Structure 1
Amino acid sequence: MNSSTDWAEAELLVTNRSSKTSSYWVQVEFVDSSGTRLGDAFTTVPDLAPGQRAKATAQGLDTITAKITCRLTDVTRYAS
Structure 2
Amino acid sequence: MTTPEYAAAPSPQEPKKKPWVRRHKFVTGVAGLAIVGGTIAAASGGEPAEAESKASSSAAKSSESDAKKDDPLSVSSNKTNKPKNDIDLGSVTTDSLGSAQVDVTITNNSSKTSDYWVEVEFLDANGKRIDTGVASENAVAAGQEVDTQAVGIEQVPDGTITAKVLTVDRFATAGS
- Normalising by structure 2, we get a TM-score of 0.44
User: In 2, distance between residues paired with 1:68 and 1:19?
Assistant: 35
Alpha-carbon distance, 1:65 to partner: 2.5
Alpha-carbon distance, 1:50 to partner: 0.4
Number of aligned pairs? 80
User: In 2, distance between residues paired with 1:41 and 1:58?
Assistant: 5
More strand by share: 1
Tell me the residue number matched to 2:150: 58
Gaps of 5+ in 1: none
Q: Which deviations, in whole Å up to 9, do the C-alpha atoms of 1:29-77 show, x marking residues without a partner? A: 0011111110000010110000000001001101012320000011000
Q: Give the greater-gyration-radius structure (CA).
A: 2
Give structure 1 regions of 4+ aligned residues with deviation exceeding 6 angstroms.
Answer: none
Letter in 1 for 2:136: T
Tell me the residue number matched to 1:32: 124
Pick from 137, 140, 157 the counterpart of residue 45 of structure 1: 137
Tell me the residue number matched to 2:166: 73
The alignment's C-alpha RMSD in Å is 0.9
User: In 1, distance between residues paired with 2:125 and 2:162?
Assistant: 7
- Percent identity of paired positions between Structure 1 and Structure 2: 35
Alpha-carbon distance, 1:3 to partner: 3.2
Do 2:104 and 2:135's aligned partners in 1 also have CA atoms closer than 8 Å? no
Q: 1:3 to 1:59 in 2, by over 3 A?
A: closer
Letter in 2 for 1:14: I
Q: 1:2 to 1:34 in 2, by over 3 A?
A: closer
